[in-house]
Structure formats: C-alpha cells, structure tokens
Amino acid sequence: MDCIYLKKMLLRFRDIMSENRDYLIEMDSVVGDGDLGLTMSDGFEAAFKAADASAETDCGKLLYAAGKAMSMAVPSTMGTLMASGLMNSGKILKGKEILDNTDIVQLFMAYIDGVSNRGKAKIGEKTFLDGMVPAIEKLEEALISGDSLNAAAQKAAKAAEQGFLHTQNMVAVHGRAATRGEASRLLLDPGAAVAMLMMRAFAKSVE
C-alpha cells in the first residue's frame, strides 16, 4: 500500500460521511448544535481533495497535508479533532512510501492519539474514542492471529459498531451532552458514530 491507497481510503471516508450527512445531523441535533454531518462531509471532502491533488509519495506527508486542509475547512471542535488525528498519523508515518499491515495499525493508533491528545478524552467517556479504540484493538488482534487485512478490517468495523452502540450505556463527560448528566446515558454518541462510519469506509477501501 502507498499514497494511492491512502487517497482511496480518504475517498471512502468522504463518500460515507456525505452519504450519512443527514443521519449525523439528526443525531447531533439531540446532543449538540446539529452541524456534525456538515462538518464531517465538508471536512473529509477537503482532506480528500488535498490528497488527491498532491503528487506526494511520502505517506506521512500526504496524510499531514490532508489533515491540515481539513483543519482549515472545518475549524469546529469535531473538525479539529478529526484533523488532529490525520496530522498525527502523518507525523508517525513520515518517511514511508510503502505501508504494510503493521503501518496501517500504527496509522489508526496515531489517529486515536491525535484525537485524544487534542480533546483530552479517554475511553469510556462517551466520545469518538469509544467507537475507534475497540475497532483498532480488534484490527491488531485479527492481524496478529493471521487474518488478511480485508478480514481484519471487517472485524474492526463490527467492533466499531458495537462500541458505538455501547455508548448508550455511558454518561457523557464532554460537550453539550455532558450537561444532561445521568440522562445522557440514554443517548448514542454522535462521535462514536463517526468512528463506526470511518471503520466501515476503511473496510471497503481494502476489499
């Protein structure tokens, strides 16, 4: 895998966020200001366009540039978090022109670190991380067990979905949802929905 693959992955991210824009808007309107669908569709559109227009062969530099474009296009809280993930992935993969399965795991682990370092959130606090962390743990576990990347990605997507659904049992710690206190336990987290959609898109990108 190389920069051509990363462009394909970003394209899948863009497409799935566009397809689910209204779904994310509806979810976010309950706990936020309702702009999540627009933020994600516009943000990943900007990320893909920046990557697609680039002749860069360094995978890290390509991802960093994509994240930078996203940060400028959607400077909201969630936009900044997602852009920070891309840029941190870029930092970790800088200097690599070819990626193996281990690098893909590192890409997503770095994405998680970028998001958590920027947002100061932890697993279990009803955020994006509760969808993404179990997905990447499952991805790494499946690859170590000998699964193909395709099979491992499918398992990761399922784990992300399960993580998203599990947020309904959590009390929100961050954002407007946190003001609901115990009542927030009844709601699914829109950020974790974004993680679920990203993992579905990733699985499609490696089919």
Q: Which domain holds residue 166?
A: 3-205
| DSSP code per residue over 9-62 | HHHHHHHHHHHTHHHHHHHHHHHS-S-HHHHHHHHHHHHHHHHHT-----HHHH
Query: CATH number for the domain including 165?
Result: 1.25.40.340
Per-residue pLDDT of 16-25, as tens digits, reads 999 999 999 9
* pTM listed for this prediction: 0.92
Per-residue pLDDT of 51-101, as tens digits, reads 999 999 999 999 999 999 999 999 998 999 999 999 999 999 999 999 999
Per-residue pLDDT of 128-142, as tens digits, reads 999 999 999 999 999
Task: Look at the chain and report how many structural domains it folds into.
Answer: 1
| Statement: residue 176 has pLDDT above 90 | no
CA distances for 149 relative to 102, 142, 204, angstroms: 10, 8, 11
Nearest alpha-carbon partner for 73 in 49, 93, 108: 49
User: What is d(CA 43, CA 87) in angstroms, rounded to the nearest whole number?
Assistant: 13
